[in-house]
Amino acid sequence: MIATSGINAVSLRDIAKEAKLSLGTVSYHFASKDDVIFAVMTRHIDDMKQEYRAWLDRHQTDLTPDRFLEVIFYKGVKLFNRSRMHLFIINQCMSNNDALRQKFIEKYKEWHEELLQGVKLAFPNSEHKNELATILLTVIDGLVVQEAMQMSFAHEDDLISIVKKIGS
């Protein structure tokens, strides 16, 4: 609802009505709309991290750079199918909402750390693991924008090939 109508057009009362809860119940758990947005953002990022971590744990011994990058690009964009939510959260963080921005930065750093763990497994000989994780995060964000806009500038295989060269 917030993603479609905008944060300023939605009240806690609207959120309570949509969730079929009393305003008192919503207000008990969330003091403001910012708290609701942060809870949604946290859930969004934590779900991504949890799914990614479970996959990474299952492939500790058979992880290749190609497979890692395929999954990162696929899971980071397609499988999560949360491009509108991701863009909405980033938009809210770019507004004058400093508290939300700081919370988002913390969660974003956690996501970077998760990617870094995968980079360490898939590219053990790379001298630039942190930078590679940062590049992956940037590419994922760019792909999310392209997915939301229903456009594409590069084929996934080409991106994998280029990033693999960077990681070597």
Question: Does pTM top 0.85 for this prediction?
Answer: no
Q: CA-CA distance, 161 to 103, in Å (whole number)?
A: 34
Same domain, 38 and 27: no
Same domain, 56 and 95: yes
How confident is the model over 30-85, as pLDDT tens digits? 888 778 878 877 887 788 788 888 888 888 888 899 888 988 887 666 655 566 66
Same domain, 73 and 116: yes
Same domain, 3 and 23: yes
Q: Domain of 66?
A: 33-167
Same domain, 128 and 97: yes
Same domain, 25 and 68: no
Same domain, 15 and 81: no
Q: What pLDDT score was predicted for residue 125?
A: 93
Can you give the three-state secondary structure of 3-60, one letter per residue?
HHHCHHHCCHHHHHHHHCCCHHHHHHHCCCHHHHHHHHHHHHHHHHHHHHHHHHHHCC
User: How buried is residue 112: exposed, middle or buried, by Cβ count under 10 Å (0-12/13-18/19+)?
Assistant: middle
Residue 50: which CATH number?
1.10.357
Same domain, 21 and 49: no
- Please determine, for residue 165, whether its predicted confidence score (pLDDT) is greater than 80: yes
How confident is the model over 18-45, as pLDDT tens digits? 889 998 998 898 888 778 878 877 887 7
163 sits in which H/E element: helix 156-167
Q: Max Cα separation, the chain?
A: 56
Greater confidence, 151 or 128? 128
Tell me the percentage of the chain whose pLDDT exceeds 90. 18
Same domain, 77 and 14: no
* Domains of the chain: total: 2
User: What average pLDDT does the structure give for the chain?
Assistant: 83
